[in-house]
Amino acid sequence: MKTIKEFIFYSSLMILTGILFTGCEQQNSPLDDDALNKTLEIAVTQAKIDDVSEGIDDVVDNLSIDFSSGNFNKINLSKSNTKKSFLLDCVIRTTSITETGKNIILDFGDGCSTKNGNILRGKIIISVGINFKEKSTQLDYTFDNFYYNDKKVEGVVHKYKLRVNDKGNPEVTTNRDIKIIWEDGSFVSVAAEKKREWIEGVRNGNWGDNVYLITGSRTITNKNGNVRTSKIIVALKRKMACHFLVSGIVEIQKKNKTIILNYGDGACDNLATATINGVEHEFNLKKRRKG
């Protein structure tokens, strides 16, 4: 009986080992060119979503609030002078006072370039509520025929701007529910939650040396209803003087696929890498037409 039991045990162990080995082998097996390109496109799409989201935040988060007056009628929403402000003269800004704050319309017309080279058109409509005691700001905004580098953006964004966090830095918490539509009509819906901490160049009046750290997660649904999630596992770094994110790592999950998107080591360039099945693939953010 002992021999039979040992036989059964070792036979079962060999079968189990074979199953596990086969599973690992399938998971790490090389992809054919078509499958690889489709998987790589997931990382490219994530990079384009990050580019649009951070680009819009560059504009809205650089609206400064002067808390010193305690009076809504005296709120200064852009303290920087024209030469150093991130917003250019081509933006038409309309402001109206409400009981709890102000409403702002940023009108980029048929095309207005930011100082780091992105083209915006259409309008962002912002409702600003200020809490002078807590030195915080609530911003809710929508889009009116708005485009970011020829990608149309629709939806709603909620922001909570804290003048000073526990590290002594300004911080913005954002909840985003938007749709990004590309030139060919394809689109993604993005539900995101993130924090953006301002770590360098704080309130010195010069946008060019501003640096931010970004953390958070997103759920992304494409036009076919396919869903994936992404989580920032190493904080993304945004240098305002650079067109692209310069560092940070994002883990993307789609069904049984895990993709690691890496923005680099801090250098200002248009390169990123996607690690798929243990193999690193470099791609050019600028040359990729579609997100």
Counting the structural domains of the chain, the total is 1
Q: Domain span at residue 263?
A: 33-284
d(CA 286, CA 96): 38
pTM of the model: 0.81
Residues of the chain above pLDDT 70, percent: 79
Under the banding of pLDDT at 50, 70 and 90, the label for residue 269 is: very high
Q: Is residue 247 part of a domain?
A: yes
Question: Which amino acid would we find at residue 150?
Answer: D
Under the banding of pLDDT at 50, 70 and 90, the label for residue 76 is: low
Q: Is residue 4 part of a domain?
A: no
Q: Is residue 100 part of a domain?
A: yes
Q: Is residue 188 part of a domain?
A: yes
Instruction: Return the C-alpha torsion angle 156, 242, 107, 90, nearest 10.
Output: 180
Instruction: Report pLDDT for 28.
Output: 52
Which residues fall within 8 angstroms of residue 199, CB to CB, at 6 or more apart?
169, 211, 212, 213
pLDDT over 50 at 26, yes or no: no
Q: Is residue 274 part of a domain?
A: yes
Instruction: Report pLDDT for 238.
Output: 96
Q: Is residue 117 part of a domain?
A: yes
Q: Is residue 20 part of a domain?
A: no
User: DSSP alpha helices (H): ranges in the chain?
Assistant: 2-28, 33-60
Q: Is residue 22 part of a domain?
A: no
Instruction: Report pLDDT for 152.
Output: 97
pLDDT over 80 at 275, yes or no: yes
pLDDT over 50 at 68, yes or no: yes
Under the banding of pLDDT at 50, 70 and 90, the label for residue 274 is: very high
What average pLDDT does the segment 73-82 reach? 47
